[in-house]
A and B are shown apart, each in its own frame.
Chain A
Amino acid sequence: MQFDSLQALIEMGGHGHFVWMAYGITFAVAIGLIAQPMLKRRRLLSALKTQHALENE
């Protein structure tokens, strides 16, 4: 372990805000790339389900 306290880990000897900002933005982009097709899939499937229900009435 390189840091002896949570405070030291957050500050990283003055470079903390650079490091954490880089990781934070990366995390946000990754979540976006994962969520986009999942939402698209869910929207499509629910639309198809409604359509299917209407056809079978």
Chain B
Amino acid sequence: MHLMKLSFSMNNVIQFFFKLGSPQWFYKATGWLMPLLAILAAALLSWGMVKGLLYAPMDKVQGNSYRIIYIHVPASFVALSCYYMMAVLAGVYLIWRTKMAEVVLRCCAVIGAGMTFISLVTGAIWGKPTWGTWWVWDARVTSMFVLFFIYLGIYALSKAFEREDLGSKAAAVLALVGTVNIPIVYWSVDWWFALHQGATLKLTEKSAIDSSMLQPLLIMIAGTYCLYAFLILLHARADILRIEQKKQWVKDLVST
């Protein structure tokens, strides 16, 4: 009896992932999430920005320039998270040829490149008043720069072939190979201590930041993750309509 129950729930899980892999089901199942995620992201990001720009105290050493942390750190987090997700989807796509893994994998390349760009640019702007220079080939900065080009490479490869599935396969392989860069980004501040400061947030010990400065940062991180989820769905849903435009369900969607 117990075993039957377990196998029944396992079946449900498998069925869920099976359905998730179908573009039509994915499109119809995610519609209600869009306004919810948009409102959540807008609310959290504006709340965090007001707190971070207007209410958080000035940093004793860095002055007001430190307020860039409220976009730099969340964007960097998402830039890396996006890569984890893309690498997992690349594996799923190469093994099972799941259509939705292919679609979201391509979306991740664009969104990840955007987030990495924000991370690099805000870092450079923050560097000018803090380090006295816009750019330095420090380990963290260099590995993020490499990440940006890996994202661009994945995007370019996904568009480089006449047959779209060949492009996706090549992109997925590059996404998996590029994973070697991720631990380098992650540990670069500890391995080669240069100009980039150490991690501000630590899970296992007390964070190196006062709570009045930390609170807006946590709000901004939550908001940026909501924005990221929103962007993934927005890009994926637009692409689903494109690849399924000849299917009856899209025709029905258009005619109503």
Contact = CB atoms under 8 A, between A and B. Distances in A.
Contacts of A40: 238, 242
Given A2-B56, A41-B238, A13 B63 contact: yes
Interface residues of A, number: 31
Contact of B67 (A1, A12, A14, A33): A12
A contact face: mostly helix, strand, loop, or mixed:
helix
Given A2-B55, A13-B63, A44 B68 contact: no
Interface of B is mostly: helix
A46 B237 CA distance: 16
Contact of B63 (A14, A25, A29, A38): A14
A26 B118 contact: yes
A2 B58 contact: yes
Interface in B98-127: 110-111, 114, 117-118, 121-122, 125-126
Contact of B234 (A2, A9, A34): A34
B57 interface: yes
A32 B231 CA distance: 11
Interface residues of B, number: 40
Contacts of B68: 18-19, 22-23
Contact of B235 (A1, A2, A22, A37): A37
A31 to B, nearest CB: 11
Contacts of A48: 245, 250-251, 254
Contacts of B144: none
B142 interface: no
Contact of A38 (B64, B129, B238, B239): B238
B67 A19 contact: yes
A33 B55 contact: no
B118 A25 contact: yes
Nearest to B236: A37
Nearest to A40: B238
